[in-house]
């Protein structure tokens, strides 16, 4: 058997690699032209694959590494040289990918065995047995189930510290004189530099800057990034995880998603190292639990919800949203401080932290009325950690509320949320206190307009009662002004004058 290792399965301890020492890797280049992918994303994947190839060779594996236009072309070359070879691969999480690869292999006279993907903490069978026939799911229930089953952050039958959730301690904004710890920087070595140059030449339409590439490209670097996070940022990760600060792209977030999604780190080890920091007294429980929930709860949950809800999930649009993305998502040029910061972070780094993704980038698109599929494409092309299996449930499900499969209410808010959690509004030319008028914060009119326009679906939805009590207090004149302002903002979004 030969192990076919995909670009997001770069783990030397992956199960198939323990049984066979012949490896196939295919770097498929035309894939990167389907969308104007961020150059750092493309360079990261190519560099990490090339490093992994070299690492496996040093460990004694015989690696066939093919640079090709497509997987089909790569397999043609492989089977010309090694007819009839049987391949084994860890089942990729993106919908239908495993079967498509199997078809490509079989039509060239080989066989492909798909085995469990052990780059996740939980298996499909575990989730399916927990979820039964359900067609909608709630993360919190799943998260508690996994902690009980695995013993992660448990003291016997009870959650460590007695509570499942310490979110009430995790919604702070830093004091004015606080500066975040330096984000770790893994400067490009020769292999990465070559990948960056290749990407610059091959993908001139790529969206984003390749100038500030700092991502780990090897397992060793990813381990350093994990240790650096635990030593320098984990303590403040919890309290400041929802905060946003002018000019700061990383704050105390771990920046580990790209490494975990590539397979350079396993979710098991990440959680273990973070739990150890709590057990040995070097990190507080609210930070540790907050982080563990992201990995054990959200990441695993998203993977399984995606698996069970595809292909409908990708096309879902229960609110019937049809607007194109505002120009500002492409240019970053907008007077809205929050939006220009968040888009700027994505353009410069291929990254924005969770609250920028959820409460700025997808929240604004949601209340503006953007088509969820278009938003999903933008997230998919713009982020270094984006893969269809993880971007789609987060963008279409969580961010766009295009389906109620994983949440019972939309993550929609006015400018108040951004004002509470950031220092943006004080230096923004738009007034967060105003809903209508030419300098009113665009979030505000769009938010009320969104609630009004989607009243039929949302009024009865869980936890929206308070919002609709505010809706009910507005009179017809106020609604006419809100609607006019929302229409004006959408036009500004199209014109690029937001």
Least CB distance to ligand FAD at residue 168 (A) = 18
Indicate which single residue of 207, 298, 329, 448 sits in contact with ligand FAD (rule: CB under 6 A). 298
Print the binding letters for residues 360-389 with ligand FAD: x by CB under 6 A, - otherwise: --x----------------x---x-xx---
Burial of 177 (0-12, 13-18, 19+ CB in 10 A): exposed
Binder of ligand FAD out of 243, 256, 292, 313 (CB under 6 A): 256
**Minimal distance, residue 80 CB to ligand FAD, in Å:** 36
Extract long-range pairs of 430-438: CB within 8 Å, 24+ residues apart: 430/335, 430/336, 430/337, 435/481, 435/482, 435/485, 436/481, 436/482, 436/484, 436/485, 437/485
Q: Bridge partners of 86?
A: 111
DSSP character string of 414-468? -HHHHHHHBS-GGG-SSBTT-SSSTTB-HHHHHHHHHHHHTHHHHTTSTT-HHHH
Query: Could you say whether residue 141 binds ligand FAD (CB under 6 A)?
Result: no
Question: Is the Cβ of residue 248 or residue 385 nearer to ligand FAD in the bound state?
Answer: 385
Report if residue 391 touches ligand FAD, rule: CB under 6 A.
yes
Q: Contact 40/352 with Cβ under 8 angstroms?
A: no
Under the binding rule (CB under 6 A), the answer on residue 295 touching ligand FAD is: yes
The yes or no reply on residue 398 touching ligand FAD (CB under 6 A) is yes
Return d(Cα 86, Cα 112) in angstroms, integer.
Answer: 6
Of 390, 428, 446, 458, which lies in the binding site for ligand FAD, with binding defined by CB under 6 A? 390
132 pairs with which residues across the strands?
none
List, in sequence order, every residue forming a beta bridge with 24; answer none if it has no partner.
4, 64
Specify the residue, 112 or 328, whose C-beta has the smaller distance to ligand FAD: 328
Say if strands 154-155 and 158-159 run parallel, antiparallel, or are unpaired: antiparallel
Q: Confirm or reject binding of residue 257 to ligand FAD (CB under 6 A).
A: yes
Tell me if 394 contacts ligand FAD by CB under 6 A: yes
The verdict on 353 binding ligand FAD (CB under 6 A) reads: yes
Q: Of 78 and 143, which CB lies nearer to ligand FAD in the complex structure?
A: 143
# residues contacting ligand FAD (CB under 6 A): 28
* Interacting residues with ligand FAD (CB under 6 A): 253-257, 260-261, 291, 294-295, 298-299, 302, 353-354, 357-358, 362, 379, 383, 385-386, 390-391, 394-395, 398-399
């Amino acid at each position: 058997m030969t192990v076919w290792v995909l670009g997001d399965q770069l783990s030397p301890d992956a199960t198939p690699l323990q049984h066979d020492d012949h490896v196939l890797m295919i770097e498929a280049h035309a894939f990167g032209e389907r969308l104007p992918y961020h150059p750092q994303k493309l360079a990261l994947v190519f560099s990490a694959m090339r490093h992994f190839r070299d690492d496996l060779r040093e460990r004694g594996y015989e690696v066939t590494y093919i640079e090709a236009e497509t997987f089909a072309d790569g397999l043609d070359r492989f089977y010309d040289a090694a007819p009839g070879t049987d391949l084994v691969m860890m089942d990729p999480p993106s919908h239908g990918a495993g079967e498509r690869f199997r078809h490509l292999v079989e039509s060239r006279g080989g066989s492909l065995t798909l085995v469990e993907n052990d780059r996740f903490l939980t298996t499909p069978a575990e989730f399916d047995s927990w979820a039964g026939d359900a067609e909608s799911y709630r993360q919190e229930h799943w998260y508690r189930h996994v902690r009980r089953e695995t013993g992660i952050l448990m003291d016997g039958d009870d959650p460590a510290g007695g509570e499942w959730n310490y979110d009430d301690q995790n919604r702070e904004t830093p004091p004015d004189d606080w500066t975040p710890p330096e984000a770790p920087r893994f400067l490009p070595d020769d292999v990465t530099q070559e990948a960056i140059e290749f990407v610059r030449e091959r993908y001139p339409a790529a969206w984003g800057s390749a100038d500030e590439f700092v991502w780990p490209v090897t397992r060793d670097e990813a381990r350093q990034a994990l240790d650096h996070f635990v030593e320098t940022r984990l303590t403040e990760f919890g309290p400041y995880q929802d905060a946003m600060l002018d000019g700061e792209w990383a704050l105390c977030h771990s920046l580990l998603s790209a490494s975990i999604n590539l397979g350079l780190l396993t979710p098991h080890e990440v959680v273990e190292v973070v739990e150890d920091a709590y057990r040995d007294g070097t990190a507080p429980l609210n930070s540790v639990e907050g982080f563990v929930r992201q990995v054990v709860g959200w990441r695993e949950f998203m993977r399984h919800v995606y698996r069970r809800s595809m292909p409908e999930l990708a096309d879902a649009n229960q609110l019937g949203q049809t607007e194109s993305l505002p120009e500002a998502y492409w240019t970053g040029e907008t007077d809205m401080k929050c939006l220009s910061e968040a888009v700027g972070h994505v353009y410069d780094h291929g990254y924005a932290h969770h609250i920028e993704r959820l409460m700025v980038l997808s929240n604004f698109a949601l209340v503006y009325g953007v088509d969820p599929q278009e938003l999903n494409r933008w997230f998919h092309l713009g982020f270094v950690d984006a893969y269809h299996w993880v971007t789609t449930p987060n963008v279409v499900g969580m961010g766009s509320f295009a389906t109620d499969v994983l949440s019972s209410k939309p993550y929609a808010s006015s400018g108040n949320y951004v004002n509470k959690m950031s220092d943006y509004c004080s230096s923004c030319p738009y007034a967060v206190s105003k809903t209508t008028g030419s300098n009113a914060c665009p979030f505000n009119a769009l938010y009320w307009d969104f609630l009004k326009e989607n009243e039929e679906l949302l009024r009865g939805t869980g936890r929206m009662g308070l919002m609709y009590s505010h809706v009910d207090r507005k009179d017809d004149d106020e609604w006419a002004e809100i609607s006019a302002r929302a229409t004006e903002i959408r036009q500004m979004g199209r014109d690029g004058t937001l």
